[in-house]
């Protein structure tokens, strides 16, 4: 674990950083390249976790996602995910930046639709990728609700 990992930005700071990055990109091609670059930086997922039980259904490409409570915390949840498609890996990286390391209540209350709209991803992704992204978000929120202490989910 690096120093950067222990000094995690808030969900709002992560969202603002991503929004600013996308605002600097002039074309759809640059946005896709940025997504691919984000995906390349995604830490590798443990191959043992790439099983059917962890696969996100509803995605055109293969996506695996696991969540676990952060040791030593009551309700902070970490996510690991991967995909076999470059752009989808970038989408996974965005969701990981927004959701991983956050308390379950923040995961459940974050306005992901508004955030994705600010990035422009709501209009620039194909229908299949938008559907897959929605399924990834649904899975993250389901896992957060499952792993959250009862009082954190309310």
pLDDT in tens, 36-69: 999 999 999 999 999 999 999 887 889 999 998 8
Q: In whole angstroms, how far apart are CA 6 and each of 60, 63, 65, 73, 144?
A: 34, 27, 22, 13, 21
Fold (CATH) for 9-147: Sufe protein. Chain: A (3.90.1010)
Per-residue pLDDT band for 28 (boundaries 50, 70, 90) equals confident
- Residue in 59, 66, 77, 94 annotated catalytic: 59
Per-residue pLDDT band for 9 (boundaries 50, 70, 90) equals confident
Q: Where are the domains of the chain?
A: 9-147
pTM of the model: 0.86
> What is the widest separation between alpha-carbon atoms in the chain?
44
Residue 59 bears catalytic tag: yes
């Amino acid at each position: 674990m690096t120093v950067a990992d222990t000094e995690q930005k808030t969900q709002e700071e992560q969202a603002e950083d991503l929004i600013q990055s996308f605002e600097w990109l002039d074309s759809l091609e640059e946005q896709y390249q940025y997504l691919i670059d984000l995906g390349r930086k995604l830490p590798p997922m443990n191959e043992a976790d790439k099983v059917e039980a962890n696969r996100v259904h509803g995605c055109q490409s293969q996506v695996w996602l696991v969540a676990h409570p952060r040791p030593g915390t009551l309700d902070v949840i970490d996510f690991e995910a991967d995909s076999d498609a470059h752009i989808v890996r970038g989408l996974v990286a965005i969701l990981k930046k927004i959701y991983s390391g956050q308390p379950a209540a923040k995961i459940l209350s974050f306005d992901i639709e508004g955030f994705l709209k600010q990035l422009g991803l709501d209009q620039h992704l194909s229908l299949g990728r938008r559907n897959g992204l929605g399924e990834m978000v649904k899975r993250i929120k389901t896992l957060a609700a499952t792993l959250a202490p009862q009082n954190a989910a309310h």
